[in-house]
Amino acid sequence: MHPTQGKEIAVIVLNWNGRALLEQFLPSWIEHTPDCAELIIVDNGSTDDSVAFLQSHYPEVATLCFQENYGYAEGYNHAIQALDYPIVVLLNSDASLSAGWLDEPLRLLGEHSDVVAIQPTIRAYHEPSRYEYAGAAGGYIDAFGYPFCRGRIFDTLEYDEGQYATPVEIFWASGACLIVRRSAYLEVGGLDRDFFAHQEEIDLSWRLNARGYRILHAPSSIVYHVGGGTLSAESPRKVFLNFRNNLLMLYKNLPAPRLYHVLLWRVFLDTLASLVYLLSLRPRHALAVLRAWRGFLVTRGEYEAVRGENLRRTTTPPSPAILKPYSLLWHYYILRQRTYSQLP
């Protein structure tokens, strides 16, 4: 597909066997996609009647159909490579839009040439005044690689009461709704297809930061997200992917000797996490942490060339303002600081 004349933005929804989600959320996407943007449903080799549903009920909506399921990361990579729009929006199929959600992001991109990605405020679809787990008001990671957000630290979710109402620089933007300049996305290699799911947007954001680009949170842009559509929070598979992908991300992006210092601490901290799962009678989750480390050690060698390229192309190491220098575990569990505003 080529851009419709006058359209500078592609709002891309990746669909795989999501007929029910299309029925539920497509009216919101159509209603709130502005004239300057094109809504495009990318079907990732669905085997249900998603495509037939679109053709019969929404023939005016642009579609791009793949013959096979490329997965989340590679599906978006293929779509963004094929769709030549200056700005692309990666929108989850379980997200609902609101009026004017693109206004502030487009203004921020227009005002700052070094800003290449924007995250809206992500609120919970079923509890609209509360931040949603996958992104909240923009993400950071701590000194040992644990991700968290303004508005969400571990399982503590704040209500949006205007406490994060100013646009600020963030370390990572949520994949639930990621607004990004296509040229920068392609320049850094897009999403890592081998992550399968979880933390691939943090890894992408790290590469963008390292090349000297900036990522901002746009507080007045509101998107509502259901979350947990791929794997539930109670899934051992989700635990495995989160821990393994996090370790791979650190290996890909952290320079030595900092990498080895962090990994040494992570052996201790992740072993502790496994013991906590075991003591809380969740042996499959405990095993998933150990399997994640095994997966990391087995896979690490395949990333040596990627790691070398990332370190060579790093022009701007992330500042302490966005890659935090403290331990989130210490502040959350020992000092009982449960909200972002309480942290250093």
DSSP string, 19-44: HHHHHHHHHHHHHH--TTEEEEEEEE
State both tokens at 181: 């300049």
Q: What is the pLDDT of residue 1?
A: 59
Residue 211 and residue 188 in contact, taking contact as beta carbons nearer than 8 Å: yes
Nearest residue to 179 via CA among 34, 17, 19: 34
Question: What are the residues whose beta carbons fall under 8 Å from the beta carbon of 171, sequence distance 6 or more?
Answer: 139, 140, 141, 202, 205, 206, 209, 215, 318, 322, 323
Can you read off the two tokens belonging to residue 211? 């090349």
The predicted pLDDT at position 160 comes to 97
CB 90 within 8 A of CB 76: yes
Backbone conformation region of residue 17, classed left if phi is above 0, alpha if psi is from -120 to 50, else beta: left
Give φ, ψ of 155 to 5 degrees.
-100, 10
The answer to whether residues 64 and 83 touch, using CB atoms and an 8 Å cutoff, is yes
Q: At what angle do helices 50-57 and 19-32 cross, to 10 degrees?
A: 40
Per-residue pLDDT tens listing for the chain (344 residues)? 555 667 999 999 999 999 999 999 999 999 999 999 999 999 999 999 999 999 999 999 999 999 999 988 999 999 999 999 999 999 999 999 999 999 999 999 999 999 999 999 999 999 999 999 999 999 999 999 999 999 999 989 999 999 999 999 999 999 999 999 999 999 999 999 998 778 999 999 999 999 999 999 999 999 999 986 555 557 899 999 999 999 999 999 999 999 999 999 999 999 999 999 999 999 999 999 999 999 999 999 999 999 999 999 999 887 888 889 999 999 999 999 999 999 99
Using DSSP's 3-state secondary structure scheme, residue 302 falls into helix
Ordered domains of the chain (ranges, CATH): 9-225 (3.90.550.10), 236-342 (no CATH)
Show Cβ contacts of residue 54 under 8 Å, excluding neighbours closer than 6 positions.
22, 41, 43, 61, 63
Please, are residues 142 and 328 in contact by the beta-carbon 8 Å criterion?
A: yes
* Helix locations, 167-257, DSSP H: 182-187, 200-210, 236-253
What is the DSSP track for 260-297? HHHHHHHHHHHHHHHHHHHHTT-HHHHHHHHHHHHHHH
CB atoms under 10 Å from CB of 262, counted, come to 17
Helices and strands per DSSP (H, E), number in the chain: 11, 14
The contacts of residue 96 (CB under 8 Å, 6+ apart) are 25, 28, 125, 223, 224, 225
Tokens of 41: 């449903």
